[in-house]
Amino acid sequence: MIEVTDHGSVRELRLNRPPANAFNPDLARELTEQVRLAPSAGAEAIVISGAPGMFTGGLDVPELLTLGRVDIHAFWEAFYEMLNEVAACDVPVVAAITGHSPAAGTVLVAFCDHRVMAEGRFKIGMNEVQVGLSVPPILQYAMKRLTGARRGDALLIAGALISPSEALEVGLVDQVVSEDEVVATAISWAEKTIALPPAAMRETRRLARADLVAQFAQLSGADYDEMTDTWFSDETQTTMRALVERLAAR
């Protein structure tokens, strides 16, 4: 589910779980493992990319709706371990947002160092509220770290999906380029970053991201219990099942 391509010292991890690269337990665990392994394999930076037109559709809601409480609890643990691995990675991680990136897609890119998005019709945003999920504190922190508190609050509460140009304006992404230039631009940013004096860059980066990494130390079993309770609440289940029915009818 992850295609690995080395571009010199930059390793590209391409999400490859058709049709939408949606996150289920297996994809979350595989991306965690690939991010963890890349530095020991000689990669000095990582680019996470997706398919043309679709970075990731977020969570695989149809599959996750079939899971019981124990498995959903385990999924949340795996998903947050993936985010922690990206946030705390020893080398820079760049998101090459090759298309749509709603919900969990936006969550993933918020924990990367840099975000390059394809211009055009695509949408990005933590739209969890629209599908009946509240946004946990650590995800709110990551969003508002990029956009600022006032804009972040407005986007999160509305569950807004915005265009690439709007995302650039509010700071959710760092660059917007043509669809066929996204991966190359992400690689170029990574190459320029790792060309800096390495010890100085790495220590400065570590200090700059320490606040983000520290958020994960505050997670406890009670947090995962709460996420699981929310998942199985009547409102969330009703809203998500209605969403699945609408998608199936298309």
Instruction: Say what the pLDDT of residue 248 is.
Output: 84
The rounded mean pLDDT for the chain is 97
Rounded alpha-carbon distances, angstroms, from residue 150 to 158, 160, 170:
13, 14, 11
pLDDT, position 133? 93
Contact 165, 127 (CB under 8 A): no
Task: Choose which CATH entry (3.20.20.140, 3.40.50.300, 3.90.226.10, 2.102.10.10) describes domain 2-194.
Answer: 3.90.226.10
Residue 249: is its pLDDT beyond 90? no
Q: Tell me the pLDDT band of 88, cut-offs 50, 70 and 90.
A: very high
Dump pLDDT digits (tens) for 164-176.
999 999 999 999 9
How far is the first Cα of the chain from the last one, in angstroms, to the nearest whole number? Answer: 26
Residue 246 has pLDDT above 90, yes or no: no
**Beta-carbon neighbour count of residue 153 at 10 Å?**
14
Reported as a single tens digit per residue, the pLDDT across 179-230 is 999 999 999 999 999 999 999 999 999 999 999 999 999 899 999 999 999 9
List C-alpha distances in Å: 192 to 34, 118, 170: 22, 20, 24
pLDDT over 90 (residue 247): no
Structure-block tokens of residue 46: 């990582």
What pTM did the predictor assign?
A: 0.96
Output DSSP code: residue 162: B
Read off the pLDDT of residues 104-151 as tens digits, 9 standing for 90 and up: 999 999 999 999 999 999 999 999 999 899 999 999 999 999 999 999
Q: How far apart are CA 59 and CA 128, in angstroms?
A: 10
**pLDDT score recorded for residue 111:** 98
Q: 10 Å Cβ neighbour count for 184? A: 14
Q: Are 113 and 205 in contact, with CB atoms under 8 Å apart?
A: yes
> Which residues 6+ apart lie within 8 Å of 10 measured at CB?
43, 44, 45, 46, 47, 187, 190, 191, 194
